[in-house]
Amino acid sequence: MGLQKTFFLHLWSFLILLFVPVFLSACQHHIPPEALSLDSESLKLRQIQTRVFQTDDEIKVLIACSSLLQDLGFTIDESETELGVLVGSKDRSALSAGQIVGSIIFGVFTGVPIPWEKNQKMRASVITRTTGDKKKSIAVRVTFQRIVWNTENKVTIREGLTEPKMYQEFFDKLSKALFLEAQEI
């Protein structure tokens, strides 16, 4: 009998120890320290995402950017010319043949098919500002990000896109549209 009592006491203590941290952490999420800090990566990204054009016409640059976003299939969600802000987004498929094949093979062996990535929302914000001596140049900075959903409609990826080639191509197209050479910062 004594043994049984001790067993139950231990069981209850174990359960309490198990559940207390779970309950306390249930409603808490903590922001990582680097989320709002500048680091060496920030400067590198700024260089990849920015080009300077020799013109003082900010509106002309913004119009060229909005046409370019349209060319790239984005729809404009938000614009504020006074602050040089343009925001666009597009929904696209995220299917990749490799992932589907992998999922099917996994399903055949285990009997449990795993979901694959199905669609994605891609967002772009383009910001212009005057720069240089006597404010005779316009700096354009574009940033891309995406959210990916799988076949169960669960978000699987949330990320900023940092591939330099994407930005290079965007600015190549922008300089063609502006008939101006894009200069790196």
Chain residues binding another protein by CB under 8 A are 5, 8-9, 12, 15-16, 19-20, 23-24, 26-33, 35-38, 42, 45-46, 49, 77-78, 80, 82-85, 87, 123-125, 127, 129, 141, 143-147, 158-160
Beta carbon of residue 147, minimum distance to another protein (angstroms, whole number): 7
Beta carbon of residue 49, minimum distance to another protein (angstroms, whole number): 7
Match 């720069």 to its residue by tokens: 131
Cα 56 from Cα 87, distance rounded (Å):
22
Return the number of the residue (143 or 150) whose C-beta is nearest another protein: 143
Return the number of the residue (44 or 136) whose C-beta is nearest another protein: 44
Angle CA 117–122–123, to nearest 5 = 155
Beta carbon of residue 30, minimum distance to another protein (angstroms, whole number): 7
In contact, 145 and 161? CB cutoff 8 Å: yes
Return the number of the residue (33 or 111) whose C-beta is nearest another protein: 33
| 80 CB-near residues (< 8 Å, 6+ apart) | none
Amino acid letter, residue 46: R
Return the number of the residue (104 or 157) whose C-beta is nearest another protein: 157
Length of the chain: 185
Cα 74 from Cα 66, distance rounded (Å):
9
Return the number of the residue (51 or 141) whose C-beta is nearest another protein: 141
CB atoms under 10 Å from CB of 100, counted, come to: 14
Strands 155-161 vs 183-184: parallel, antiparallel or unpaired: unpaired
